[in-house]
Structure 1
């Protein structure tokens, strides 16, 4: 039986699916993973078949539209949403064609947030609420369901309380999300002569689709009002997560002194990379007399640092290998980077840029492993320095170490593969075909 995993998005949307694919292969399934063409390096070597989508995603983020989207997010979420929809609309034709072809050759499909509506359209038997023509599961890496429980929903109005307002606000966020992600699904429905679906259909389909939340319950507390179809696992981590190596110059830098501060914003661009780089270099320079050193990842933000004995600029480095050797991880709050820092057992400074990233920043602060998050638009040298003081405190170090031990004890990818297997085999133990 061949299972298609759809990894539409950044590295953080693709790498966990490699881990799931590895565990599914152990259970005897053939697994293929579709992802943007420029993320093939994340998949290749992981033991699953790579199916490149016919477009890049990192390149647009580096260029005008991506930078403009993040520039807007510093001021208004409405602008961010509008520009994100432009990105999705621009890839709709290619995405619909690619996924249609791949779904036709698969026996079961695991979609993500950006492809759920598209797969729902492809597997719709043509009647509202009907059983999909092939088994369809939904995988997400952040708690996106409407909920009254603030700590358990990524977009809450009152994040630390239980209130109907959180459920109402997160439901509204779901409506906005559907408008962002629906262009490819709408295209498929139009071609098949099916009506454009309302939000009510979208929520109904999501609530009855077996869903896997790949986030540790030690970080995302389960909520009583989550749908019955949702099953939470720990984080999905590749078999070889800690088995890689770092470049020789980085290895030498790590060996020369105390564990450094890591700074990197992953796939998030910034409209002012020089300004952010200066802030980082200045803060680490002021702390240098007290033993602080820095490893700065360029990422899509294009961060650079001057040639100094206490600083090293690096390209992509496996987080599972590097983070445990750092004193603090300063990052953008992506789900995958947050998970890697948690597993490493080191304190954090979170600088959210967009989407669910403020949620992860709040959770790290509430769990005692970080100061309050610093929104990207509010990043200053003074704020970064204060946040580093908190992260380097004995309390934050102890909390991060304890949380890391609990999370490392989980096997989220293994649990998820078991749940997928149980669903596909059904109550009779025989593999279902739709």
Structure 2
């Protein structure tokens, strides 16, 4: 039995890969603890996980809008890093699994000497782009050296598929596969799932309203999940709309014909796992959503529409992808690739391999 510490942050789509892998490790008899932002402690405990305290971490919540400066400070947070080291000193771990964006934590764990794995919950190409961009610059201005922290990792596990990741297969990373649940599709009448981010991006309520306007009167059932940021009561709806704050997508997607989303990696991979084409409306140009949307469009499994697109421009795109066509075969091909790499199981296998082959007192890679 191994002792594993998982470090995450309150960002939305980055959390399910971490919790999915942790749940798989728990099912195999390992001891797993989390360290994260205080705002997510309750949800982690409610999900059945042990959570170590994080009194020094910055106050951060994914349901509040945050500037790039705030995000850079959050990812560089040495307070959260001190909480992680305190958890390790209180109860040593065999391995630490760290969210790839928490560079302050990665630097601290490297210096501490406990072996660690970097969990990339997005395309590796998107991750590299973020590190080269303003957020990465902000990390470096905070005195961090991302290259050094990544080079010291025992492994870099990418929870995605190389068929879509522009990086493809390359040395130094391992595509373990998306951490998503899926069930066989259930035949039925046409149905569309509309769901944007659980993270507070500017203008999301307006975007959801335009998507509702675009699907009003469509010859399909339209299920909308608003998430914690947008109040369902604030939206105008039509007779064919069902609007909920939250319904598990794993329950909905087997009944859907199309997904309209923001290009979040987790939602996109779950849709493809169900062979569903996508309409992608990215919420922010500086994150991975535009890259995800373009990759799906290049593969022929969907289309990208701008965030500011009016309803009259979005509706024909939705109608085209709701119909039969080559986009459904493309989505099915990608679905097969996603299902062939069960991310939670493969990541847990890799963690177990790293722990079992580590000789006490000998660093990884020697």
- TM-score normalised to structure 1 length: 0.71
Query: Is the 1:296–1:313 contact (alpha carbons within 8 Å) kept by the matching residues of 2?
Result: yes
Structure 1 partner of 2:306: 375
Matches within 5 A, 1:342-381: 342-354=272-284, 355-371=287-303, 373-376=304-307, 378-381=308-311
Structure 1 contact 265–300 (Cα < 8 Å) conserved: no
In the TM superposition, what is the alpha-carbon distance from 1:311 to its structure 2 partner?
0.8
The 2-side partners of 1:173 and 1:6 are apart by 19
Matched, 1:137 2:129: no
How much does 1:419 deviate? 1.4
Quote the offset at 1:88 in angstroms: 5.1
Task: Choose from 314, 321, 324 the match for 2:254.
Answer: 324
Q: Which structure's CA Rg is the greater one?
A: 1
1:399 match = 330
1:164-212 deviations in whole A, cap 9, x for unaligned?
Answer: xxxxxx57843643344468xx6xxxxxxxxx45x4xx31331342211
Measure, in 2, the Cα distance between the counterparts of 1:296 and 1:52.
Answer: 35
Question: What's the CA shift for 1:321?
Answer: 1.5
Structure (1 or 2) with the greater helix fraction: 1
SS in structure 2 of the partner of residue 11 of structure 1: coil
Distance 1:6 1:402, change over 3 A: same
- Encode CA deviations 1:269-313: one digit per residue, 9 max, x unaligned: 3544553343223211242xxx12311112244164335431111
SS in 2 for 1:306: coil
Once residues 88 and 423 of structure 1 are traced to their aligned partners in structure 2, the CA distance between those partners, rounded to angstroms, is: 26
- Residue 32 of structure 1: aligned partner: 33
Which structure 1 segments of 5+ residues have no match? 70-80, 125-131, 145-152, 156-169, 187-195, 244-253
CA contact (8 A) 1:18 1:33 kept: no
What CA deviation, in whole Å up to 9, does each residue of 1:152-172 have, x standing for no partner?
A: x227xxxxxxxxxxxxxx578
CA distance in 2 between partners of 1:301 and 1:96 (Å): 28
Deviates more, 1:42-51 or 1:276-285: 42-51
1:8-407 residue pairs with structure 2 within 5 A? Answer: 8-40=9-41, 43-44=44-45, 46=47, 48-51=49-52, 53-54=54-55, 57-58=60-61, 61-63=62-64, 65-66=65-66, 69=67, 81-85=68-72, 92=77, 94-104=79-89, 105-107=91-93, 108-124=95-111, 133-144=113-124, 153-154=125-126, 173-174=131-132, 176-181=134-139, 196-197=143-144, 199=145, 202-209=146-153, 210-220=155-165, 223=168, 226=170, 228-237=171-180, 258-273=189-204, 275-287=206-218, 291-302=219-230, 304=232, 305-306=235-236, 308-354=238-284, 355-371=287-303, 373-376=304-307, 378-394=308-324, 395-407=326-338
Q: What is the alpha-carbon distance in structure 2 between the residues aligned to residue 174 and residue 11 of structure 1?
A: 22
In structure 2, the CA distance between the partners of 1:43 and 1:409, relative to structure 1 (3 Å rule), is farther
TM-score (ref. length: structure 2) = 0.83
Aligned equivalents of 1:272 and 1:401: distance in 2? Answer: 32
8 Å CA contact 1:324, 1:345 repeated in 2: no
Partner secondary structure for residue 12 of structure 1: coil
| Count of matched residue positions in the alignment of Structure 1 and Structure 2 | 351
Instruction: Find the aligned partners of 1:62 and 1:223 in 2 and give their Cα distance.
Output: 32
Q: Is the 8 A contact 1:114 1:181 kept in 2?
A: no
Question: 1:27: how far off?
Answer: 4.0
Contact 1:296 1:303 in 2 (8 A): no
Paired with 2:53 and 2:312, the residues of 1 have a C-alpha distance of 43
Q: Deviations over 1:40-88 (max 9, x none)?
A: 4653465542346456644xx444x43xx4xxxxxxxxxxx33533555
SS in 1 for 2:163: coil
Gaps of at least 5 residues in structure 2 are: none
Query: Counterparts of 1:274 and 1:220 in 2: how far apart (Å)?
Result: 29
How far apart, in 1, do the equivalents of 2:104 and 2:34 lie? 18
Structure 1 residue 393 displacement after superposition: 3.3
- Cα distance in 2, alignment partners of residues 410 and 88 from structure 1: 28
SS in 1 for 2:305: coil
